[in-house]
Amino acid sequence: MHGFANPARFLRIARWLMPLCLGLGLVVAALALAWGVFFAPAERLQGETVRILYLHVPSAWLGMAGWMGIAGASFTELVWRHPLAAIAARACAVPGAVFTAVCLLTGSLWGRPAWGTWWVWDGRLTSMLVLLFLYFGWMALSQASESSDGSENHAPAIFGLVGAVNVPIIHYSVIWWNSQHQAPSITMGKSAMSGDFLWPLLTATLGFTLIFAGVVLARMRAILANQQAEARLRRKAFSEVEF
Amino acid sequence: MAGSIKAKHQRLVLLAVALVVLIGAALLAAWALRNQASYFYVPSDIVARPPEPDRAVRLGGMVEKGSLKTAADGVTVDFVVQDGKARVPVTFRGIVPSLFVEGSGVVAEGRLGANGTFVADNLLAKHDENYVPREMQDMTKEQAKQVVAETQ
């Protein structure tokens, strides 16, 4: 574990892992979407609109996984003070927020034909919207607490952990409360969804998850490079003052 | 080094305790919200505790098979919403969503009339967690069950 916390070692691994994740993810996601849109069957009641599923569900998963990434990194930062933890949390925020937004948008587009409404304030939709706002708040806080003098600020990490409470609420919102949104089709080892829908969905989820991982690695590399450049500039500025 | 390990251990314990408290608080809050956060009442709620007349409520449940009738004017539909324990008759005038069929879920927004009939101003269709391809809908129940069992 500590080996990966070493930025130099991390950069060596990320250099080849990032293009691998991104490339493989793009290919798998594109194939899965083509499968879902052109080859998978229409649904008995919903007809063709069921195809939004292949974008909606992976986005929902990654929106929630992104916050679990922030929370995990925050925990690591607070307990073990890993130098990469805060960077990993910052790298998860933007892709997580983007996927949450995509989930809300595709859900709204799907809700109109399937339910007869763009939006309802039920438990699932509301808690997912709260997740998007949590991302916005977290990004603002993380930006505001960035210090140029290298001092540590753990406010985003604490926010990241507290905000994680919303993730199980999103998941259980359709089980605890009556909701417009359906209950989960896929539960532990069982699927109420025919394999005709399930396999392209799982493939799309794998593809988008690989893309997410690639983006997080790319953002971590960019943040590290930025920090190194800033440190170099600072050293240069000091040496010019002294000599 | 020993000191830093001790500090790490302390932080781990402190954070673990904080997380347990936090999750406990969230569960308590969710428990307190359990009724208020529901999007609709089911028929047994309506029958057990009827809402005051003219109070806007939502009623959700399954459209009872064989209960859906279109009135002579062509735009008024009458049907029964049930949840397996209770049934509430509903009347609605307007265009129904395309997923609105017998045996499927529905959320009706409206008011409970004096005669016990729910007068809906708006209908939302609800689809459940079952996803079945169009080709399978004409199979018999046994055939469909077999196909679904194979995919599980």
- Say yes or no: A50 contacts chain B, CB-CB below 8 A: yes
The domain limits of chain B are 1-37, 43-126
pLDDT tens across B12-27, in order? 999 999 999 998 998 8
Is pLDDT at B127 greater than 90 in this prediction?
Answer: no
Per-residue pLDDT, B90: 95
Per-residue pLDDT, B34: 75
Q: Residue A190: count other Cβ atoms within 10 Å of its Cβ.
A: 10
CA nearest neighbour of A63 among A162, A161, A132, A123:
A132
- Say yes or no: A47 contacts chain B, CB-CB below 8 A: yes
Model-wide pTM > 0.90: no
Alpha-carbon gap, residue A51 to A26, rounded angstroms: 19
Give the H/E segment covering residue B77: strand B76-82
What is A103-124 written as a DSSP string? HHHHHHHHHHHHHS-S----HH
Per-residue pLDDT, A51: 94
Per-residue pLDDT, A2: 55
Amino acid sitting at position B27: L
Per-residue pLDDT, A145: 85
Per-residue pLDDT, A149: 58
Mean pLDDT (whole number) for B80-87: 91
Is pLDDT at B142 greater than 70 in this prediction?
Answer: no
Per-residue pLDDT, B140: 56
Per-residue pLDDT, B139: 60
Across the interface, of A75, A116, A198, the residue whose CB is closest to B151 is A198
Give the SS3 label for residue A187.
strand
- Say yes or no: A182 contacts chain B, CB-CB below 8 A: yes
Chain-chain contact of B123 with A113 (C-beta, under 8 angstroms): no
Give the bridge partners for B127, in sequence order. Answer: none
Parts of chain A with a pLDDT under 50: 1
The answer to whether A195 and A202 have CB atoms below 8 angstroms apart is no
| Residue B119 confidence class, pLDDT cut points 50, 70, 90 | very high
pLDDT tens across B37-48, in order? 788 999 998 888
Tokens of B51: 């809402």
Q: In Å, how far are A209, A212, B44 from B89, measured between CA atoms?
A: 46, 49, 12
- How many residues does this entry show for chain A? 243
Per-residue pLDDT, B32: 82
Residue given tokens 């927004």 in the structure block:
B109
First-to-last C-alpha distance (Å) of chain B: 53
Q: In Å, how far are A43, A85, B136, B144, B145 from B140, measured between CA atoms?
A: 17, 55, 9, 6, 9
Alpha-carbon gap, residue A147 to A26, rounded angstroms: 35
The domain limits of chain A are 52-182+196-242
Per-residue pLDDT, B71: 87
* Pairs from B146-149 (Cβ < 8 Å, separation ≥ 24): B147/A194, B148/A194
Contacts of B125 in chain A (CB under 8 A): 114-116
Q: Residue B45: count other Cβ atoms within 10 Å of its Cβ.
A: 22
Contacts of B26 in chain A (CB under 8 A): 165, 168-169
Alpha-carbon gap, residue B66 to B79, rounded angstroms: 8
Enter the CATH code of domain B43-126. 2.40.50.140
- ipTM beyond cut 0.90: no
Per-residue pLDDT, B147: 56
